[in-house]
């Protein structure tokens, strides 16, 4: 059996199987029925190409036709069970899209925790449903069929990407358990940020020194609150970002950081200290007695006329 012949045969098999399965399979992967036709037509050549390229691999285990036919007949049965899972997947997709939409919209300035925690909560909920151990009505575990049945494990991959984003953003610190609402700390912090910003807004016109003076207490309170939250580890990216922006406003736009104004005393004190060692070394050079060593020529070494010894002592 030549490679070419075998491969063309396999191509044929796959085409048939695809046609048979497509009804279910496409429904599973792409839920919108409108897309079904275009997808299947676009996927067909791709599948064929894959098979063509891979044909030696297919040949390798020396598959004979009856086995392939068995496989063909078993395919739809497996998929048929997962109608329930299919629904789950559908919901998962919808919630996924809504969460991603939400986060993209609140990417800058960062408000992912405040705006999107509820959609993330519902996404986690559905994922938990999928990955839970309980059997679906059709007596098949969706965890097996949806999460682990192929190399790519797309559902798992998608979810874990979002989970990474969520944990990187530390949003869990700002949201109550069960994704009900933002924590009181967060709300309080946002409130004081707003106060500070309104203060900035009020004094924005004219001289900035005025602003620095009158908003100092609010800003300082905010700073202290922030550092308290930092030590308590109750911060999320929203808080960090809004604090960053406020700090930048305060110190860069309005120039309210501390000025460097004590240059003279600092230079005076440090140059005084730099002079101390010079005085020390000079005085010890002039006043301290120089340590002298006493030379001794050993008797036995003299015969060699090469050696000397020194008695080590103070003069």
Partner 1 sequence: MANITKKVSWSSRADESGATAEGTPLLNGSEQPRPSRQLSGSGGIFQIGRLSTVDLEEEMTSEEESLRGRPKEIPHNEKLLSLKFESLDYDNIENQLFLEEERRMSYMGFRCLEISRWVVCGLIGFLTGLIACFIDIAVEQLAGYKYQVVKTNIEKFTEVGGLSISLILWAVLNSAIVMMGAIIVAFFEPIAAGSGIPQIKCYLNGVKIPRVVRLKTLVVKVCGVICSVVGGLAVGKEGPMIHSGAVVAAGVSQGRSTSLKRDFKIFEYFRRDTEKRDFVSAGAAAGVSAAFGAPVGGVLFSLEEGASFWNQMLTWRIFFASMISTFTLNFFLSIYNNNPGDLSNPGLINFGRFESGSVEYNLYEIPLFILMGAVGGLLGALFNKLNYWLTIFRIRYVHRPCLQVMEAMLVAAVTAAVSFTMIYFSNDCQPLGPEHKEEYPLQLFCADGEYNSMATAFFNTPERSVRSLFHTQPGTYNPWTLGLFTITYFFLACWTYGLAVSAGVFIPSLLIGAAWGRLFGILLASITPDGSIWADPGKYALIGAAAQLGGIVRMTLSLTVIMVEATGNVTYGLPIMLVLMTAKIVGDYFAEGLYDIHIKLQSVPFLHWERPPPLIG
Residues that bind partner 1 (CB under 8 A): 223, 243-244, 247-248, 250-252, 257-262, 265-270, 273-274, 276-277, 280-281, 284-285, 288, 290-301, 304-315
CB 52 within 8 A of CB 7: yes
Cα–Cα separations (whole angstroms), residue 196 to 90, 174, 205, 212, 245: 45, 20, 16, 11, 12
Which residue lies nearer to partner 1 by CB, 63 or 172? Answer: 172
CB closer to partner 1 out of 1 and 276: 276
Is the CB of 41 or the CB of 315 nearer to partner 1? 315
Q: How far is the CB of 113 from partner 1 (least distance, A)?
A: 18
CB of 188 to partner 1, least distance (A): 20
Helix (H), strand (E) at residue 45? helix 33-59
The CB-of-55 to partner 1 minimum distance in angstroms stands at 37
Q: How far apart are CA 273 and CA 277, in angstroms?
A: 8
Tell me the two tokens of residue 117: 């925690």
Distance CA 292, CA 302 (A): 23
Closer to partner 1 by CB, 60 or 300: give it.
300
Kindly tell me which of 39 and 218 has the beta carbon lying closer to partner 1: 218
135-141 contacts at long range (C-beta below 8 A, 24 or more positions apart) = 136/81, 136/82, 136/84, 136/85, 137/84, 138/81, 138/82, 138/83, 138/84, 139/81, 140/81, 140/82, 140/85
Task: Report the nearest approach of partner 1 to the CB of residue 295 (Å).
Answer: 5
Instruction: Give min distance, CB of 201 to partner 1, in A.
Output: 19
Q: From the CB of 264, what's the least distance to partner 1, in Å?
A: 9
Q: Which is nearer to partner 1, 60 or 299 (CB)?
A: 299
Q: Which is nearer to partner 1, 151 or 292 (CB)?
A: 292
Give 106's DSSP letter. T
Supply the minimum distance, in Å, between the C-beta of residue 200 and partner 1.
14
Identify the CA nearest to 88 among candidates 55, 50, 117, 125: 125
What is the smallest separation between the CB atom of 149 and partner 1, expressed in angstroms?
33
- Compare residues 205 and 289 and give the one whose CB is closer to partner 1: 289
How far apart CA 24 and CA 83 sit, in angstroms, is 10
Place of tokens 């329930």: 84
Contact 294, 313 (CB under 8 A): yes
């Amino acid at each position: 059996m030549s490679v070419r012949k075998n491969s063309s045969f396999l191509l044929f098999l796959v085409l048939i199987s695809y046609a048979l399965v497509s009804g279910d399979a496409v429904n599973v992967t792409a839920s919108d029925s409108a897309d079904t036709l275009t997808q299947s037509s676009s996927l067909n050549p791709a599948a064929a190409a894959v098979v063509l390229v891979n044909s030696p691999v297919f040949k390798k285990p020396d598959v004979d036709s009856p086995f392939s036919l068995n496989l063909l007949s078993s395919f739809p049965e497996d998929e048929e069970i997962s109608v329930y899972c299919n629904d789950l997947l559908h919901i998962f997709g919808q919630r996924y899209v809504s969460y991603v939409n939400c986060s993209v919209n609140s990417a800058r300035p960062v408000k992912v925790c405040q705006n999107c925690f509820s959609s993330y909560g519902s996404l986690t909920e559905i994922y938990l449903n999928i990955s839970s151990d309980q059997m679906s009505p059709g007596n098949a575990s969706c965890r097996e069929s949806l999460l682990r049945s192929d190399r790519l494990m797309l559902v798992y991959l998608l979810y874990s990407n979002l989970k990474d984003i969520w944990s990187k953003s530390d949003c869990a610190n700002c949201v109550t358990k069960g994704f009900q609402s933002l924590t009181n700390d967060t709300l309080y912090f946002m409130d004081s940020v707003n106060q500070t910003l309104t203060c900035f807004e009020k004094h924005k016109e004219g001289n900035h020194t005025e602003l620095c003076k009158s908003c100092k207490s609010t800003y300082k309170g905010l700073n202290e609150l922030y550092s308290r939250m930092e030590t308590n580890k109750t911060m999320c990216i929203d808080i960090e970002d809004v604090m960053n922006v406020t700090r930048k406003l305060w110190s860069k736009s309005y120039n309210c950081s501390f000025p460097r104004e004590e240059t003279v005393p600092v230079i005076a004190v440090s140059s005084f200290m730099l002079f101390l060692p010079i005085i020390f070394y000079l005085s010890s050079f002039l006043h301290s007695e120089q340590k002298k060593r006493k030379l001794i020529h050993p008797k036995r070494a003299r015969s060699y006329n090469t050696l000397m010894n020194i008695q080590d002592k103070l003069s």
